[in-house]
Amino acid sequence: MSHISILSGGAAQGLVGSLAPAFKAETSFDIEGEFCAVGLMADKLRKGTPTDLVILTAALLAKLTDENLIFDSSTADIGLVETALAVRADDPQVTAKDAASLREVLLASDAIYVPDTKASTAGIHVAKVLDQIGVANQVASRLRIFPNGATAMRELAASTAQRPIGCTQSTEIISTSGVVLSGALPPGCELATMYTAGIARTAVHAAQAQRLIDLLIAAGQRNLREQAGFVRS
């Protein structure tokens, strides 16, 4: 069976999955690949992992383009994704209107579910914010760190802690059953990240990869992008 291969940040997994039926109807191709921390995905591409399409942060994709691993003419922005708070579906929602209230939310939790704090977009930002608001040492033992946001959110959904919360990209929260989006990070702590798609220079199915990019950025798919958590394109 024919398929295109993808290396992607976890933020795009829900959107790509929602477009898979339309893509297959048009091309007869399935979509296969990996969705994980953007740093890990970039390293896989650099090490020669076969792939047709890459979806990563705009900044990282630009670096890969400069490294001659992505066709510059193929790159296209999909949209912005916010880093946000999550709670289990049956738990009271938490809100953080400013840094002080975010500090209170974090200190009140007994488990904090986050993606890789060294290789993922959201995880790196979470680590920075914990330092910024002065709670890194106090909550270090409560951090539950997973390879990507989707895994962190699945673990949050199954958590047996009394007051767990999660923090990752909104797209990963929205696409995970058992958790709900509880609000973006407050001013001064927020992060909105542009995600960009590009065709790998080693692509075997470049034409089909371009068609998937066309679907990802199509004006007619704007509502689908917003439902998936992309705030604008």
CATH number reported for the structural domain that contains residue 112 in this entry: 3.40.190.10
> What is the tally of structural domains in the chain?
2
Name which of 102, 116, 195, 103 is nearest 152 in CA terms: 116
Task: Give Cβ neighbours of residue 4 (< 8 Å, ≥ 6 apart).
Answer: 29, 30, 31, 32, 33, 52, 53, 205, 208, 209, 212
Q: Establish if 233 belongs to a structural domain.
A: no
pLDDT, one tens digit per residue, over 165-190 is 999 999 999 999 999 999 889 999 99
- Across the range 92-101, mean pLDDT stands at 95
How high does pLDDT run on average in the chain? 95
Same domain as 85, residue 46: no
pTM: 0.88
Both 178 and 223 in a single domain?
A: no
**Per-residue model confidence (pLDDT) at position 1:** 61
Q: Is residue 149 part of a domain?
A: yes
**pLDDT at residue 233 above 70?**
no
Tell me the residue range of the domain where 73 lies.
3-80+193-228
In a domain, 11, yes or no: yes
One domain, residues 49 and 110: no
Binning pLDDT at 50, 70 and 90, where does residue 232 land? Answer: confident
